[in-house]
Every structure is written in C-alpha cells, then in structure tokens.
Structure 1
Amino acid sequence: MVKIEEAIKQREFKDPYNKLMVNLLYTHSYLVSAQSGMFKPYGISPEQYNVLRILKGQNGTPTTVSSIQERMLNRMSNASRLVEKLKLKGYVKREECPTDRRQVDILITDSGLKLLATLQEQVDRFNREAIHLSEDEVSALSELLDKLRG
C-alpha cells in the first residue's frame, strides 16, 4: 500500500481535510487512468462507456442528449460530442423524434450492446482488482462517500 504522502512526495498536509481532498483527487485520477487503459483497445473512453451504460439502462426506450448529460458520472463531459463519436463508431443511433421534430432521440445499437457484453467481465474484474478493500470496507466507504456529498 502506497500512502498519499509517498505517492505525491509530500511529507505533511495542512490538516486532515486537505489530505483527504488531495487523496480523493489523486485516487480519482488513478482510477480514470487505469480505466482509460482498459477501454483503449476497444477505442472508447470511460465517458463513452458511461454513455453506453446509460443508454443500455433505457431498455430500448429512446432518450435525449440532455437526459444523458444529467445522468453522467462526469457532468462536465460534452454529451453531444460523446454521442456523435459513438454514432460514428456504430454504437448509437440518432433519430428525429416523431412527436417533436426539434428533439433528437438517442438509442444504443446492437453493436453497442455487444461491446458492453464483451467488456462486462473485464470491467467486473477491474473493479475487484483496482479496489484493494474487503466487501465490508467497500460498503462502508461507499456510505461514507454518500455522506461526504451531503
């Protein structure tokens, strides 16, 4: 186990709150980098994977880019750009909404569903291997993070 002080070569922190904030940001970067490496051979990013998972959760019901944006893990991501990249790869399709021509419906394609199925076992394994905690610790940390966000 590498402590945050060793990882960033800092001996001490101003206070425990500062240390926790740095640790959370460092850990986020570590996990996103590792995830990016896992998805790279498939030509997608963690954000594109998030969009595909959101669309899969729609169970075939079309949704809008704004709805996708609201549900994204990283709300700073540009959902329109991500959807367009996924469309070019054949993983999603955009269709004009039959009831409102100004609205565009987004659906996951069979290719997108196949990609998620291919990735599922690898993602499950990654989640277990990247998080060096017991199941009880994982549950406790998840509850603490929920509490942290208030």
Structure 2
Amino acid sequence: MNVEKIIKTKKEIPLEARTIIHLTLVTNKINEMMSASLKPFGISIQQFNVLRILRGQENKPANLSTINERMVTKMSNTTRLVDKLLAKDYVIRKICPQNRRKVEIKITTKGLDVLNEIDGIKFEMEKDILKNFSTTELKELNSLLDKF
C-alpha cells in the first residue's frame, strides 16, 4: 500500500506521519471489511463486540461498566448498543434484585446462534485479510504493535 499514492500527494511524508496514516488506512480497511461481513446479520462491529463479551461471560450476567471496560472500541453509548441487541432478542436485560441500580445483561440463545454463524465468516475473513503474511511476520507484527 503506497500511502502517498492513496492520499494523492507527490511530496514525501515524514516517517512518523506516514506510519500513523498507514495504520489509520489499514484500520479503516479492516473496519470496512468487518462491517460488510456483519451487514447480512444486521449488526455493527460494536454490537458484535458486545455479543462476544457477553458470550465470554459464560452465562454469567455482565453490567454496562463490565461491557464498556472490555470493548475493543471504547464508547459512551453502550446502553444504546445493548438496546439495539435487545430489540433483536440477542440479549436480555434485567434489574438486579439485590441492587436496583445494577442492570444485568446476558446473551440469549438467539444471540449465541448468530455469533456461531458469524464466527465462521469472520475466521475466513481474517485469513483473507492476512493472507500475504507468514506466521513469522504476524508474530513480529504483533510484537511490534505490543509496544503501543
């Protein structure tokens, strides 16, 4: 990916700026591909992330702060994400009997089913996105990104 060509400039971009632009372009491309693969299921990347977090709870309820802490993309609209998943019957929400201010959220069987469908598609998409990298290169890339 030639950054200068993509952003249509003839002047050389300083290495630091070029790196940031490059990372941003790659992130945007991955997000576009993820969004496209989730579109048939009618959910966003953020909603998908919430469902995965809830699946990881292994049938234990989570509250909004737990979900927000674990989100890949931190957002303030977690309540709206949960509301949209509620409307699709992918999650249930109930008020904790011991503490009425605490809201408990769990994934439903329907939510688990849709996640299982998405898992196969997502696995293939990830393989396709990274097809030009060897295992060694992927390990090196991850090691470099861990420096953030």
- The whole-number CA distance in structure 2 between the counterparts of 1:111 and 1:127 is 24
Q: Which amino acid in the other structure matches residue 22 of structure 2? A: N
Structure 2 unpaired stretches of 5+: none
Higher alpha-carbon deviation: 38-47 or 76-85: 76-85
8 Å Cα contact 1:47-1:77 kept in structure 2: no
User: Which residue pairs with 2:121 in the alignment?
Assistant: 122
Is 1:103 matched up with 2:102?
yes
SS in 2 for 1:93: strand
8 Å Cα contact 1:93-1:106 kept in structure 2: yes
User: Which residue pairs with 2:25 in the alignment?
Assistant: 26
- The whole-number CA distance in structure 2 between the counterparts of 1:35 and 1:13 is 31
Is 1:133 matched up with 2:137?
no
Is 1:145 matched up with 2:145?
yes
Percent identity at matched positions?
A: 37
TM-superposed CA distance for 1:5, in Å, is 2.0
Q: Which amino acid in the other structure matches residue 126 of structure 1? A: M
Structure 1 unpaired stretches of 5+: none
TM-superposed CA distance for 1:17, in Å, is 0.7
Question: Do the aligned partners of residues 21 and 13 (structure 1) sit closer, same or farther apart at CA in structure 2, a change above 3 Å counting?
Answer: farther
Across the aligned residues of Structure 1 and Structure 2, the Cα RMSD in angstroms comes to 1.2
User: Which residue pairs with 2:41 in the alignment?
Assistant: 42
- The whole-number CA distance in structure 2 between the counterparts of 1:130 and 1:44 is 21
Q: Which amino acid in the other structure matches residue 19 of structure 2? A: L
User: Which residue pairs with 1:81 in the alignment?
Assistant: 80
TM-score (norm 2): 0.94
SS in 2 for 1:10: coil
TM-score (norm 1): 0.93
SS in 1 for 2:144: helix
Deviations 1:96-137 (A, max 9, x none): 112211110000000000001111111000001012311111
User: Which residue pairs with 1:58 in the alignment?
Assistant: 57
Give the length in aligned residue pairs: 147
